[in-house]
Chains A and B, each alone.
Chain A
Amino acid sequence: MAEYVFLIFLALIAGASLGINRAILGLIGKRLGSIEASVINHISGALFLVILMLALWLPLEFEGLLLAPYFSYLGGIVGAIFVIITSFVIPKIGVLKTSVLLISGQVICGTLIDFFEGTIKSIPTALLGVTLIIFGVLIGFYNQQSRSHK
């Protein structure tokens, strides 16, 4: 039980870290520009991971890198575009709205990938989940309109 509590606490901390990461990306985006924010994000993230690898004494698995399919490296390119967009929208719509919309886009995309890969658990359940998410997104649009009419 104590172990579960600890693991769940850790995963919550990871979620909060993503929120802090986005908030600061927005701050740098506003001050220096969103592409600059992405450069700084990738430099400091890479440095931290190098330190972590040294601390845990992890091996440099270069053979594994050669075995991996070429498309697995696209994550870096997609990630840079993702960070640039995040840093651009945060000062405009806030951290909560950004996080909620990122989660929506991510989960819908993930569900589509599972669908095309044939690994989806149940299509009706997935449809129900996606419908709830779309309703959530639409409420956000309505909320923006009613707010700006005040």
Chain B
Amino acid sequence: MNDSNQQSTLYSFYTLLAGALLGLMVFFNGALAKYVDPIFASLIIHIIGLITSIVILILKRHKLLILLRKRSIHWSYCVGVFGAIAVAIVGYTVNSKIGVAGTIGTLILGQVLYSWINDSFGLFGTRKRRLNFLDFTQALLILAGVAVIIYG
């Protein structure tokens, strides 16, 4: 194993761990959404997330000014809108005819299909990547596993 290879395996472990955090987050957010509207719940969670991020930023960098000194591409500041759009749509479709299982399955399929397109063309400032047959097999196996768990 060479160095960059070991590193990308490490990044993959971080990402799996982040996925587990996402699972926990869905559980906590669902608990809050039992008491208030899912959109209001998401707003409250965003505010807590913002405070947490600012605290981490101050602890790690000892300054907030980097946000003002360095600039990203102007449209990239809309980043959170896309996450919030997903929250709003999911809040609507879980209570619709397709229900929780239909929403989760389709949401996951949408993520994989879109991500494939994003990497193939290098959209939104990402690097263009050539995807191979094993990437396809990996995506298919994971989608199959999800389908078995949700619909099995």
Residues of A within 8 Å of B71, CB to CB, are 31
A contacts with B: majority SS: helix
- Whether the pair B118, A135 counts as a contact (CB closer than 8 A) is no
Q: How far is the CA of A16 from the CA of B88 in the complex (A)?
A: 14
Residues of A within 8 Å of B56, CB to CB, are 35, 38, 80, 84
- Whether the pair A11, B106 counts as a contact (CB closer than 8 A) is yes
Residues of B within 8 Å of A19, CB to CB, are 110-111, 114-115, 118
Q: Which residue of B lies closest to A23 (CB)?
A: B124
Closest CB in chain A relative to B55 CB, distance in Å: 9
Query: Given A15-B109, A67-B35, A78-B25, are A53 and B146 also a contact pair (CB < 8 Å)?
Result: no
B contacts with A: majority SS: helix
Query: Given A14-B93, A100-B139, A129-B152, are A42 and B110 also a contact pair (CB < 8 Å)?
Result: no
Residues of B within 8 Å of A38, CB to CB, are 49, 53, 56
- Whether the pair B83, A145 counts as a contact (CB closer than 8 A) is no
Indicate the size class of the contact surface on chain A: 35 or more
- Whether the pair B47, A100 counts as a contact (CB closer than 8 A) is no
Residues of A within 8 Å of B18, CB to CB, are 81-82, 85-86, 89, 101-102, 105
The size of the chain B interface, using a CB distance under 8 A, is: 114
Which of A41, A92, A99 touches B11 (beta carbons < 8 Å)? A92
Residues of A within 8 Å of B79, CB to CB, are 21, 24-25, 28, 37, 40-41, 44-45
Closest CB in chain B relative to A58 CB, distance in Å: 6
- Whether the pair B81, A78 counts as a contact (CB closer than 8 A) is no
- Whether the pair A82, B11 counts as a contact (CB closer than 8 A) is no
Residues of B within 8 Å of A73, CB to CB, are 28, 32, 44-45, 48
Q: Which residue of A lies closest to B103 (CB)?
A: A11
Residues of A within 8 Å of B36, CB to CB, are 61, 64-65, 68
Q: Which residue of B lies closest to A29 (CB)?
A: B72
Which of B19, B54, B73, B106 touches A103 (beta carbons < 8 Å)? B19
Residues of A within 8 Å of B4, CB to CB, are 148
Q: Mark B129-145, 1 if CB is under 8 A from A, else 0.
A: 10110110111111011
> A: which residues have CB within 8 A of B?
3-4, 7-8, 10-28, 30-33, 35-50, 52-53, 56, 58-61, 64-65, 67-69, 71-86, 88-113, 121-122, 125-126, 128-133, 135-137, 139-148
Beyond known contacts A20-B118, A53-B40, A102-B22: 9 more, CB 8 A cutoff? A27-B72, A39-B50, A67-B35, A72-B35, A79-B45, A97-B12, A101-B12, A106-B23, A107-B23
